[in-house]
Chains A and B, each alone.
Chain A
Amino acid sequence: MTINHSGKAVIAGIGSTKFGGLPGRTTVSMNVEAIRKALKDAGIEKDAVDALFVKCPTSKFELMYGQKVAEAIALQPKIGGVWDSGGSSNVMMIATAVMAIEAGQCDIAVVTFADNPKTGSAASYNRPRGDDALYGWFATLSSYAMIARRHMGQLGTPREALGAVAVAARKHGAENPNAQLRKALTLDEYMGLPMMVAPFCRDDCTLVSDGAAAVVVMSARRASELGVKQPVPILGFGFGQTSWEVAQRPDMTSTQAKIAAETAFRMAGLKPKDMDVAQIYDCFTITALMTLEDYGFAKKGQIADFVKGGNIEIGGELPMNTSGGLLSETGMPGMQLVQEGVRQMRGDATLQVKNAKHCIISNQGGVMHTHATLILGQ
């Protein structure tokens, strides 16, 4: 028997640190600040929390990191720990919290993430891949560039389509007072940038950022009992894992994001055309294009037509990454997208999409190895 959890749980509060460079702060300290702000936003006391899900910092793996964060907030959760599926972890943990709450294992969960690769070490992004350093196979961005080249060659995707993702993110980020990079970019400027790892230039690539963000998850009933002011219902979620390393992947131009979205849409009883706004993981421009395809917003190979002419910008058919995404707001892996989704559903985003009723959010990890989809409503 399948139980449909759609709408039974809510995101009750969100909180984050500043984004950019935060010298001298430990990741535990940043987590505490984000949690403090998320609890205040939800209007609940810390002692009401009985579950703590943490994504370990990408730049430095630490054993039992979840317990370090729990100790720093003097919490003894029923359920807690670290989930590692890379950048899909945050949505994965939010959904896990919903399932744990529905199963009666906990009541109120905090999901949190912090990292400091900007003032700390960004080495994990630039390391050699597998055993192939002898071939010069370095850096995370190169694997995404490899996928982008295949997409361009196999499906005829022009660089202008990659550029449209960067232009939209930078346009929206320029309007966001909290964004790390507030500098709009034109398509002409993008097309004129020198190659870094072709077919990528610098502006195809995520920012490297310090910062933390946390959310509070509880049942809709509990939120009502506690008088939470702006609970945002979780309507759907789904997951899919491609797993193969890029070189081993039999099909380089589609991922299990398709399965993740199908599961989330089915749970929510909604379709792509019902989405009013999207927060799509844009660690690299190709990631957002392929996610939109796999989610069903455009047919494979026709994504260039979908993203051109401002269609994914505010005022377009599907405004995307309305606070700037990983390319402009912060390079944080995914939680900022959830937070902007919450603001859009509350109706208090800086670049608010008028009458937005449904928001789809993607998180993904590795090099499109793992995927998680979240649909929020009102």
Chain B
Amino acid sequence: MRKTKCKRVLSLLLAVLMGMGTFVALPLSSAAAESASGTASGGTGVTSEELKKMLGAKSYSEYSKYQPSIRQAQVNAGKEMETIVIDATTNLFDPYVPSETSTDAVDELIRKKMCGFDFTSAYPSNAVPLDGRAYKISELGGVSDVLFTPDAGAISWEFEVPDEGILSADGRNYLGGYLYVIEIDYYAINLADNVSTVERALSIDGEAPFSEARSLSFSKNWVYGYRDKIEGTVNEYTDPVYGYRLSQSGAEFFADKGDARYFYGKDTFYRYEQDKGGNDLRYTAYQRPKWQTYTCTDADGFYQGYFSFYLKTGKHTISLEGLRENLAIKAIRLIPVQYRQISTYDEYVAKHAGLVDEANGAGCVTVMQAEYPTFVSDTSVYPANDRSSAITQPSTPASQLFNTMGASSYNTVGQWAGYSFRVEKSGWYEIDMRYKQDILDGLFVSRTLKLSGGEYGDTPTVPFKEAYETRFDYSKSWQIQPLNNGDPEHPFKFYFEAGTTYTLYLEVGLGTLSSSIQQVENALQVINDSYLEITKLTGANPDKYRDYGFMKIMPKTIRNLAKQADELDAVIEQFKALSGTTGSQIATLEQVSVLIKRMVKKESNIAENLSNLKSYIGTLGTWLNTCKQQSLLFDYVIVSSDGVAEERANANFFESAWFEIRSFFVSFFVDYNSMGVKEDAETSGSIDVWLAYGRDQSLIWRDLIDTGFTPETNIAVKLKLVAAGTLLPSVLAGQGPEVYIGLSSADTINYAIRGAIEPVNERNGYTGTYGYDLKLTERGENDYTRMYYIGEDIAAITDTQNPDYIDPSNLTGASKTYETKDANGNTVTKTKYRVKDDSIVFNYANTVPISLYGQTFGVPETTNFPMMFYRMDVLANLGVDAPETWDDLMECIPDFQANNQQVGVTYASALTTLIYQKGGTQWLYDENDYRIDPETGERRSYYDEEYAGAQIGYGTDIALDAFQWVCRLYTDYSFPVTFDAANRFRTGEMPIIITDYCSMYNTLTVFATEIRGLWSFTKLPGWKNETTGEINSCSVATVTATVMLYGGTEAQKDLGWIFMMWQAAADAQANYGNRMVALVGPAAKYATANTQALENLSWTSSEIASLKQQFKNLASIPNYPGSYIITRYVQFAFLAAYNDGEDPAEALRSYLTTIDKELTRKREEFELSTLKPGQTPEQARAEKAAGE
């Protein structure tokens, strides 16, 4: 009886559901089938057409599908073919196509100080501008007539491919075109010490031949400036050749094995400078630009060997578009592919077979310590202190010595370290390494081995094909192995000539795994596309009981999806064959493959498993990331003629035990706070600095302080990592630090107004050597604040030979004299000069939230603000451009809704953004308060310093309109109020999300690797002023600050101030940001508030362009007393409108009196002037005057 009742209810429910299902499905499927035709008004950003073209470009594997036969024909022909040489300055096709995003790079850079290289002094005068932006330079680095190209805009050259008259492989007809390898002679210009690599997009005849050509990276050349400690001072710019040996027999230029720390320079021994505790100090890395040859290869490491380009006979143009960094180009060469064939190892051996071999049995050994590379690809390749083994060279229990290279700092494809060496006798050598690879469990990591010098020429060259696949196997302990490609019994042998300087480059590559990883990446892309296609029909929550008819509507998509399971299976097989195990790496792939098979087996399974597929897409993305991280730690490299059988990889039990015991006891006596304090000077004092970030952040700051701040200033810093809530009780107890890093703006003001934080805006530290004068509240013509550095010796600093050269025109303001004691104890008078310096530059808006009534309570440290993230692929599919204005955005919404897509923005950020974009303000009588004067009818400033922030500004028409408009987004357009941004963005359900740029970028980078390259972020949609037509797209920024706590002596505060200035300057900020990325990964982007530092962080130039655009367009909300009450009641008002359908304006207005009452109460607490309801400042003043 009961059972039947249940059944009845169930069937009724089902019927209702099915009815609803069909009802909903009808308009939906028709909408999905239709191609959306709506286009928004054209903007200056990337249009959907361009996007489509970009996303539609084929991959290199597709591009090169038909190449083998042509290559064969070219090789077989045996005919001399012409190399096409394009001179960079004479073969220009169209001198320069300026792009919208180009910066005023050249002008700005010429003005900047040049970093001490000989080309710089001649540079400005011999640079002839070509069409404003590209420059012809008559001489650069010893080469004449070269072309300087900035980091944006495209430059094209023309050339002609001759008819070589070669028969095709089948011998029937002549080839219509030939395969060429493209080489470029370049010089990575060193203008700013920018760490990012040079990136260019190559196109032929105006189009990228394949997608990989859109991003070619040219490496720079960096050297560590080791400081000599043994004799004399090092000239960082001379060319040291390093090397030393283990064996006793040796030529005089090798150092002794006994102290493996010293290495050979031309005539001096160099090593890292040490502090007084015997710890190695971090070197400074310098760029050493030189003429190099770049051969077009894959920047991602998926394709080994060089790209070959198929070019038909006739005229062509080739263009390089700047994506990142400046580049000087001498020539572009198109070399017929047969001249750039990479030989196999056997061919290599055969080629050198007849040469003299004196080394065999002679025991020739050259050792290179990993921590002393000759060159590195970028500053993020840096040495490390390893304490995991007692026999890592060198090791002491007490101090931190650099003794290894690698791990987290050396794991991204394209990074390399180069080691120069010479051998004593000509002959065959093997190269052994002591290394540890304990990250990729069950797999191996790869390096691409390159050589330069001697027969290999100046440019790092792969000696033979197998060198791409140099393998380092997994083990928990240290290993010593000769370089090999999977078989340590048969290592690579290299032929080296005596006396020639070779350089060994170990470049991070994907090796044997490259094709598998690429296959997975491609598969992931297809799976994700299919997922998106399916959700367009079903929505993200499909009804599993409904028959969607996938096979009828999207047979191709389903078939494609099915194919991916086979692809993954193939990869699994490859992996099994390679590693011989079935580790966790393979399990992930298997899971995905099984799921796909299940889904395509039965149509009804598709809808049911869709959410599973979504989560697997994420897993697969993470898998890819792990596999691409090729982490390797190594201690030394030995070039030896007879192997290194006697060397041990691991310490024995007694060595380890003794080392650990000593380490333990010595740890009681080491003063970790004074690390970096040099022996030759007394410390100038010591300050406490606290920060409340993570351990990684604290370690990096510690390191930067030890190697940068303390050696420079001799101020010891006690850096403490504290929990976020620690500051308040410690201030209360009078135990606070001098400086605190990373205090939120609200807390800063809360503490400041209660007298716990020092105002810094008028702090001029004229004591000691370092003095800073930071004007923080000045709203200058450039809308930023400046820093003044006080130099000592005017003659020295204006000497152009000085690396710290300062342009005399930057000396501004009055000089100051002060008295000090010289070495003999006599009082001398010295003069200091105020110098304009651009190392600390903030947007004015960033100082607003930490300022109150003319005082600024700290230096902005980080800033985060909403930007617009958008899915390029989804928008391109819909034919929609990234919206420029809110109106554009609203126009897209019907298109989105037709595809079950939404726009993600929280009401709070939409509201503040809109109010400030419309020219409104949150606070009455503050700097942003412009309103129409009822008497004159004109818009005027209502700014009143005394009463600023005395009342809420949400009662104004602008604010009420904005609030109503925002509420409508959620009530009428059903924007979701709560959502998981990253997930919905990843699946494409939210193609547009407006959120804080840095956190979102970081999340997407690690979390949503499968959509890498498919999304971008740009400035916010703006509000178009209907009368003027101007678009205001400002974004409301939040700030954290570095603050100085109240209390302590003036002298201590001066030291603290010096630290704050060092910490906020571009150098430290950029170093910190880049270190974070190197240590934690690309998801650790740092949201620095210093716009100067921003440029040196590892953003691409298009990202930088967007960021700079938004940086210029910032607003922020001052923290007047009582600000907490506003967010609260605005939320209440919003929820009343959303939940209960109340009129938004009414709801908000009903709270205004309550808010004002609380503001008044709070202001009375701090004895600030208050306003009665409805009173204006003038009336209040009049009343006050009358009262007196």
- B is bound to A: no
